[in-house]
Each structure stands twice: as C-alpha cells, then as structure tokens.
Amino acid sequence: MTHLFRALPSMDVCLSTLEQTLPDMAAVPRPLVRELITAFLDALREDIRAGRVDDADHLALDSLLPALKEHVARGVRPGLRRVLNATGVVIHTNMGRSVLAEEAREAVNAACSGYCNLELDLTTGGRGSRYSLVEGLLCRLTGAEAALVVNNNAAAVLLVLDTLCKGGEVIVSRGQLVEIGGSFRIPEIMEKSGAVLREVGATNRTHLKDYAEAVTPQTTALLRVHTSNYRIVGFHKDVPLRELAALAAQHGVPVIEDLGSGSLLDLADSGLPGEPTVQSVVREGADVVTFSGDKVLGGPQAGIILGRRNAVDRIRSNPLNRALRTDKLTMAALEATLRLYLEPELARRRVPTLRMITATPESLAARARKLASRLRRGLGGAARVELRPDVSRVGGGAFPERDLPTTLVRVVPSDISATELKQRLLSMNPPLLGRLEEQAFCLDVRTLADAEFASAASAVAQALRV
Ligand SMILES: *Cc1c(COP(=O)(O)O)cnc(C)c1O
C-alpha cells in the first residue's frame, strides 16, 4: 500500500501542471485551487485504503490529470453563472428575469470601469442627484410629473405606503390582496409600512360604492394592485381607474396603482391584449404608480415610482428612501434601456425581453427547425429529436394565463429517462434548463438566443455522452 501512496503526485506538481494546462488560472485564488487538489488527493488515498485502487499506474499524474482538471474547473466556477434558458418563460425570476439590451450592458460597463457622475452635476461641478438621471426620461415616456427609482418594486410599494399612508387606512379590493411570490404579500407589506388595510368588496367583484362606503377621515389612499400572477375569469368586476380616481379626488386622497410588470408599450398587436400601459394609468388619474424595472420593461432590477410631483417629492424625501436606493450599475442599465423606448420600434428590436415576448410563431418555428437539425447532427442514435407546436409564457407575473404560440424541440433520449437528462444538463457548463415532459426534454427557442444554439446542442450531446 505504501508504494501506492508514494505514487500519488505531490501538491506542487498538481498545482504547476494545472497552471499550465487549465485556461484562465492566473486570476483564480491559489488557496481555492489548493483546497480542491487536497480534496482530490484525499479521495484517492481513501480509495487506496479501501482497496479500490491497486495499480500504481492509475495514480500517475498523466492518468489522473483529466479527472483532476475537471474537479478543479468545476470547483473554481463562480456561484453566479450564465445559464441557458430553454424553458420559454421569458421573465424567469429564478434565472435573473430580464436579459439586458446590448446598450444597457455597454452603459453598465462604462459606468463601472472608471468613475462616473452618479451624484455630480457636470454643469456646476457640485453635488448632483442620482435621481435626476432618469427622471426626465421616465416623465417623457409616461406623461408623469415626477419620478423616482428604488431597489425593486417591493421596495417601491413599501416606500410609497410608508410615506403616504402610515398610520392611516388604505382601501384595497379583496380581489387584489395578492401574494406575488417570494412572500411579497400586500397585507404584510401594508403592516410593515404602518398603514391599516381596509378590505372592500368580494374576491371576484368590487363596486365603486364598496370603496365609497369605506372612505372615512382616516383614509389615506385607495390602492389598486395589479393581479399579476393570476387572472379572475367569469363573474368578475373591478372598478375602472377613472371612476376610482374621481372618488379619490372628491375625498382628497391619492390613488396608488401597483402595476407590477408595467409595460410602456401596448402589446395587444403581439397577441397580448388587456394589460394597461404605464402611460394609460397615469392618464386615467393614478396619483402614484409603481412597477418593476426587470419585468416586461426588460431592464435591470429596479422599482419605478412615478406620478404627481407633490406625492413623488414627499416619497423622495422619506429617510427610508436612502435605504432603498439604487446603485450606479442599475442607473446606467435603466437609463440605456429607457432611452430605447423613445422610439418604440427600436425598443421592440433591441430589448431582449420585448423581442422574445413579441417573436412571431413563424420565426420561432424556423429557429426551432434550425436547433433541431443541429441537435440531430450531434446526437446520432442517442436520442430522437422532433418538433411540436406548443405555447410559452411571459412569466414574472405578467400576462398570466396568456399563451404565446411557439414550437418546441423535443429530445427523447434512447438510453436514459428524460428526467435523468434534465438532471445531467444542470451540471453542464453552462447549465441548460428546459421543460420536462414524460418522455422528452423540451427546448423552447423563444428564450434561447441563436448565439446560444451551439452551446445548447453541445450540452445535450455531452449529457447523452455522445
Ligand atoms: C412583481 C410584483 C411586485 C414585486 O416587484 P419586484 O420588482 O419583484 O420587487 C409587486 N407587485 C406586483 C403586482 C408585482 O407583479
């Protein structure tokens, strides 16, 4: 056994060999690599002790190198990594929601590669405000008088309620007391902000008189919440915003609208009718509107607050705002994304989220055929590859239950189950996520870029060990 232990390569030999053979090792912290090598060698010693290895040749560095390289390459990968999304769910919170437009990525790079004027007024050289960077754009795009950006929409709702409603009563329809996921529940946010919830109406129907009868001197706002992630169908009624705004104005209280996703474009002609745009909500009289930066807008994680100047000014000067503020990277990405919306056609072409949502069934079918033939070329008899019409979802709580026609590429493995294939694809580099059916692992090209086809095909081939 001693000669087997002696046959193992030393730490130093392993380290220097890896430095010469693994790419990009210069920037990997050495302690990380040493730990991984130690674990690798310890496992081999365990194998020797247990009698699982009895041939010294197997312990020579040349024999061990492929496995050692694989072990170390896996171990040094960062926690946050690029993944391939072939699920067809465009706004996938688990996968980082929106893919940023090239313009936004360039703006982020420029803002963080050197110093920037985040809070610097370049006309005077004095202190500027990070809030003014995108306020003009937001007002121009939506018709609002003033705007503010915070960390995310949950923060936006919290800040708005904390500023305008603390200690008072906020009237909300029972049909809108939603949980958004990740435990963001309107009643709980309300409690945190110190406002008291007054529920009115029934789950499926709320009338103007329900609101009118609930208004008291304690009322501080009427809140509307976009029921983002589900849809009430059938016997159902909500009060139109215009009527609610008129009632609120009579009583001198604001209407707050949490739009959730908040689209700046009307996507009705892309088969997605029925979602109010931010502009329409402002026009119809909402005093304060909040929505996410990384849902249908297609920008970075952010919470956008806009509406009447006096309300937004009060919200901006709430001390809590300082705790919820955005950084320069967010500001850079958001400004670049919003600029594209100045020309709606440009936004449709350049913002990946919009491009994916509005992709035509014909273009998706053509791209699916392209991916399928690439897969077939690489897989041989390891799997059957077929095409089938299906639907994708927008996700992110936007356009719930709305089906977008697509074409799925179904991979039916010959020797392993679809579940096993799905599991193996998770450990590829980059990992590939798709949809699981009983017999097939399915890829929806809606969320997979053309430039990602090659990686996706090679991931499947590797997972099937072709
Ligand atoms: C998504 C959503 C939120 C939370 O937004 P985040 O940006 O994820 O914080 C709040 N309200 C509604 C209606 C939503 O759809």
Q: Give the Å distance between the CA of 304 and the centre of ligand 1.
A: 11
φ/ψ of residue 342, rounded to 5:
-60, -25
Contact 374, 457 (CB under 8 A): yes
Q: List the chain pLDDT tens, one digit each, 466 residues.
A: 789 999 999 999 999 999 999 988 889 999 999 999 999 999 999 999 999 998 999 999 999 999 999 999 999 999 999 999 999 999 999 999 999 999 999 999 999 999 999 999 999 999 999 988 999 999 999 999 999 999 999 999 999 999 999 999 999 999 888 776 666 788 888 888 889 999 999 878 899 999 999 999 999 999 999 876 556 667 777 899 999 999 999 999 999 999 999 999 999 888 788 789 999 999 999 999 999 999 999 999 999 999 999 999 999 999 999 999 999 999 999 999 999 999 999 999 999 999 999 999 999 999 999 999 999 999 989 999 999 999 998 887 667 668 899 999 999 999 999 999 999 999 999 999 999 999 999 999 999 999 999 999 999 999 998 8
What tokens does 217 get? 């001197």
Contact 45, 37 (CB under 8 A): no
Minimal-distance CA residue to ligand 1 atom 2: 260
Q: Give the Å distance between the CA of 367 and the centre of ligand 1.
A: 32
Minimal-distance CA residue to ligand 1 atom 7: 153
What's the half-sphere exposure (Cβ side, CA atoms, 13 Å) at 208? 9
Domains and CATH numbers, the chain: 2-76 (no CATH), 84-93+357-463 (3.90.1150.180), 102-350 (3.40.640.10)
303 pocket-lining for ligand 1 (C-beta < 6 Å): yes
Provide the β-strand partners of residue 413.
383
Minimal-distance CA residue to ligand 1 atom 11: 260
- In the chain, the amino acid numbered 279 is Q
Helix, strand, or coil here: 413?
strand
What tokens does 14 get? 């392993």
Closest listed residue to residue 398, CA positions, set 236, 277, 223, 234: 277
Q: Which residue among 151, 184, 256, 263 is best mutated to probe the pocket of ligand 1, counting the most ligand atoms within 8 A of its Cβ?
A: 184
Provide the β-strand partners of residue 436.
441
Q: Give the Å distance between the CA of 328 and the centre of ligand 1.
A: 22
What is the DSSP secondary structure assignment for residue 131, as one 8-state letter? T
Question: What pTM, to 2 d.p., does this model score?
Answer: 0.93
Q: Give the Å distance between the CA of 209 and the centre of ligand 1.
A: 28
225 pocket-lining for ligand 1 (C-beta < 6 Å): yes
Q: Which atom of ligand 1 is nearest to the CA of 397?
A: 15
Provide the β-strand partners of residue 34.
none
293 pocket-lining for ligand 1 (C-beta < 6 Å): no
What tokens does 456 get? 């996706």
Cβ burial, residue 31 (10 Å; 0-12/13-18/19+): exposed
